[in-house]
Structure 1
Amino acid sequence: MLPVRAALVLPVLLALAACEVTPEGEIVPQRGFLSGFAAPDVSGGPSARAEPGGSADLVEAAAIAGGDVVVAGPPGYCIDTSTVESSPRGGFAVLASCNILSAGQSGAAVTPALVTVSAGPREAQPVQPGAETLARLSDASALAADESDTLTMVYLAEGGDALLPGGAPQYWRGAFLVGARLIGIAVYAPPNSGLTRAEGRRLLELTAERIRRASPDAPIPVSGNGAGTSRG
């Protein structure tokens, strides 16, 4: 049996798998792409906002964790609403290409990627983990790492293909604080996506920035990660 979150991600994985990427980098849906896939009706909902000028099913932001955290991605990436989980203790959501989620009907063509976002419970003394801790918790070796006061990132050597069969084993994982909650992000590359290491890192950085800007103002506790170092 699939883990609950892996099962939630399955529809968008199938969507990604149903795409071809041309040598020029264009995304071409295959025949039958997204057939039968329907996102829940989120129009007018308090926790999601439809992409301007896009399909009613395309959502560019979703509130999770009791509204403390708003998940949003860079332009061209939307929420897969079927993956959203939210409770006062935390939440989870997946971002993917708006163009792919809409079967090519809306959104600019961006490099196919899958971005998972999780929010933990409120902590009295939240700590942003350092790169070594993040790699150890991921049970993978780090090929590169970067730490700052606001974001920890590691580029891991293995594990990416566990969520995306046939995808790249290497993937980026990050952690940062929104108020008293620890946020985790991972960026996965589906097969033949062409997502480079640098692009994956930039996608993670932009997503973290968008989440911070979209989320309600909250004091960010001092992190104990010994940040400010960079390597890799």
Structure 2
Amino acid sequence: MRRAAVPFAALALLAGCMETGAGAGTGGFAFSRAAPQRIAVSDATVVVVGPPGYCIDRRASSDRAEGAFVLLANCAALGGGTGAVPPVPAILTATVAKEAAPARPAARAALLRRYFASEAGRAALARDGRAASVTILETRNGDGLFLLHARDTSAGRDAGLRDDYWRAIFEVNGRVVTASVLPFEARPISDATALALLQGLAGRTRAASAAADGQDA
């Protein structure tokens, strides 16, 4: 269990390394046109689908050998979908690890909780790599999601975004997926709203990925 903790947490934390510096534009992110509402990544094993009003920023997203990163934002701002505006202003991200998820899903929550409580886990979350920069505010577990609320006071946060965020870690077709909700400073949202966004993203992604997997079978 101890040997498995660091590799699994490292996969789960890919989003922490990739969420910042997405480019210039609104809130520090670069927006592209004609954004889709879903995208298949990681050899089409995972289909990321955001909640209503959120579309994929293809220019800020990537699908590489080392893993996939997807950024979702306001459909109207991205020029995608029906031009719908999300009821909740925020940036959403999803990261898919290239490695397969470890076995024994029932043990993952305890494994992750211990890791993120450790100095190594908090350092891995921090943009500056310093454990002292990160405070774990809360963790939860349910419906196959490990949920983490953290505050990162490291320098270099994207302009306009808060220093705290909610993150969900879950499995889709054997891959570890990490989803995050990044609220805006000027438009704070409640914990319940952030969790609803994560649950919506996770649920839609699981359903779309299951359907895609069934078609390939």
Q: Does TM-score exceed 0.5, indicating one fold?
A: yes
Equivalent residue, structure 2, for 1:138: 125
Deviation of 1:90 (Å):
2.7
Q: Does structure 1 residue 64 correspond to structure 2 residue 58?
A: no
Q: Output the CA distance in 2 between the equivalents of 1:115 and 1:90.
A: 17
Equivalent residue, structure 2, for 1:112: 89
Runs of 4+ displaced beyond 6 Å: none
Q: Does structure 1 residue 151 correspond to structure 2 residue 138?
A: no
Deviation of 1:106 (Å):
1.7
How many residues are paired up?
Answer: 179
Equivalent residue, structure 2, for 1:15: 26
Greater shift in the superposed pair: 190-199 or 90-99:
190-199
Deviation of 1:158 (Å):
2.4
Q: Output the CA distance in 1 between the equivalents of 2:86 and 2:94.
A: 22
Q: Percent identity?
A: 24
TM-score (ref. length: structure 2): 0.69
Equivalent residue, structure 2, for 1:54: none
Deviation of 1:170 (Å):
1.2
Match of residue 75, structure 2, among 98, 105, 114: 98
Match of residue 194, structure 2, among 196, 200, 224: 200
Superposed CA deviations along residues 119-158 of structure 1, whole A, max 9, x for unmatched, are 0023273564533434624253221211125100011122
Question: Which consecutive unaligned segments of at least 5 residues does structure 1 have?
Answer: 19-33, 40-56, 220-232
Match for 1:211: what amino acid?
T
Q: Quick check: 1:173–1:184 contact (8 Å CA) kept in 2?
A: yes
Task: Tell me which protein shows more helix as a share of its residues.
Answer: 2
Q: Does structure 1 residue 78 correspond to structure 2 residue 65?
A: no
Equivalent residue, structure 1, for 2:171: 177
Task: State the structure with bigger RCO (CA 8 A, min sep 6), 1 or 2.
Answer: 2
Q: Output the CA distance in 2 between the equivalents of 1:38 and 1:167.
A: 20
Deviation of 1:102 (Å):
2.9
1:218-229 pair list within 5 angstroms: none
Q: Quick check: 1:161–1:167 contact (8 Å CA) kept in 2?
A: no
Q: Output the CA distance in 1 between the equivalents of 2:179 and 2:148.
A: 11
TM-score (ref. length: structure 1): 0.65
Structure of higher CA gyration radius: 1
Deviation of 1:6 (Å):
3.3
DSSP-derived class of the 1:121 partner: strand
* Root-mean-square deviation over aligned CA pairs: 3.1
Equivalent residue, structure 1, for 2:13: none
